[in-house]
Amino acid sequence: MLPKVVDLFSGCGGLALGFQKAGFDIASGIELMPEAVKTINYNLSYRYDKEAKHICGDITQMNPDSIKINIGQEGCIVIGGPPCQAYSIAGRGKLRSLGEDRIHTKDARGYLYQDYLRFIYGLDARAVVMENVPESTNFGEKNIPEEVSESLKEHGYSVFWTVLNAANYGVPQLRERVILMGIKKNEGRSIELPMPTNINRLDTVGNYGNRIHNFEQCKYYCMPPMPIGNEPQWVTVGDAFSDLPVLFPTADSKYKPISLNIEYQYKSDPRNEYQIIMRNWFGEPTMAVSGNSFRKNSRDFQIFERMEQGDNYIRASEIADQLFEEALELYQFEFGTNEYEKLHKSIVPVYDRNSFESKWRKLDEDKPSHTLVAHLAKDTYSHIHPTEPRGISVREAARLQSFPDDFYFDCGMSDAYKQIGNAVPPLFAYAIAKAVKKAFEEEENGIIE
């Protein structure tokens, strides 16, 4: 019998969803954000008429004994991704903006991996999977994956970590993450990394995902597995979006607020394998799709419409200047007047063009998306739809993260974007979960003596 799964720092359930699909029973979970707990309990428990498995709480104030009752003789695997805000570049920048004393190494979230380890040892976990951003390897003087690995080794685990790109596992997004995996030595063998299912055949994307990280000197670092060479190419934005409903065809379209639970019909039948997976994750085909909300960026719809795929904020600013000049010819306002300034403000974004270059980007439908982040909760300028003049919808963000179409976000739009941006892509998690499952199945089948 497979070990049960304890899901720490669960977010809205991306990692747990992958393990559930691989056949694991999610025994319990802990998450601090109430909206995320509501999301994960609906999608992983209530939809199956089961009691909620995830609880809302502060892990630093909790004891592993409180969830032992949910684990049987088969033992458990502890999975999770301790918060990355103290490690990530975006998170560090946010802290600096709050004051000189708010440096990332003083952020208590950067030390929550210690509670992660506390639960592993308190539950005597048979195996461990931890996910985090690559920047966790440089937390002041600390390499967090190395520290966690060293502690696990001292407690009897065979352990390693590496950096994997979710695009290599069928996710339409370039998303590199540290993956740490460990198994008790008395289990008889180590877990093997999942082999890539997709490969970069898109020369225009460059070498993303094949960068040298200079981790070879790290004691517990393991080189990621290389594709065999006959895998299908990376899944693109176009592959992810092409069957979804048209929501805002032109900049002159009327904006309508759309509740997250309102379902729209698909634009077409599934056009590729990825869309089939997204529609059939839970076993029954999804006939309509929810999560079609997107932001009302009235000032910028005209700019979005003139941007080409791949354009950034510099090009958007040039377009805004053109739109202003065209409007000025019509209204003939004189420079410096209130009317002139009001017109300029209504058309031209005020952000610094030197420091804001990469903050806007129009997606290229022939490539995977760049990394989604939780900042989507604030705005969606970082991910502008490739063919419609708007930011991506909640469902489109979910598609880029490989959340299935029947995964519901019973919350506000901003909360949904935040949950999606913070999540582990479920399809990526599924590949990892299958690798863990293989180790335990082989042991049960007698391959391990």
Known catalytic residues are 84
Measured CA to CA, the distance from residue 121 to residue 113 in angstroms comes to 12
HEC secondary structure over 180-247: EEEEEHHHCCCCCCCCCCCECCCHHHCCCCCCCCCCCCCCCECCCCCCCCCCCECCCHHHHHCCCCCC
- Confirm if 260 and 410 have CB atoms less than 8 A apart: yes
Q: Please, is 421 exposed, middle or buried when counting C-beta atoms within 10 Å of its C-beta (0-12, 13-18, 19+)?
A: buried
245, two tokens? 């409903």
Distance (Å, whole) CA 27 – CA 286:
27
CB 144 within 8 A of CB 137: yes
User: Residue 309 in 3-state DSSP?
Assistant: coil
Cα dist from 253 to 46, 65, 246, 319, 335, whole Å: 38, 56, 11, 19, 31
Among 373, 388, 358, 90, residue whose Cα is nearest residue 237: 388
- Strands (E) located in 314-384: none
| Calpha distance 288→405 (Å, rounded) | 8
User: Which residues, at least 6 apart from 53, have a Cβ–Cβ distance to it below 8 Å?
Assistant: 7, 26, 27, 28, 29, 41, 44, 45, 70
Residue 236 backbone zone (phi > 0: left; psi -120 to 50: alpha; other: beta): beta
d(C-alpha 384, C-alpha 305), whole Å: 10
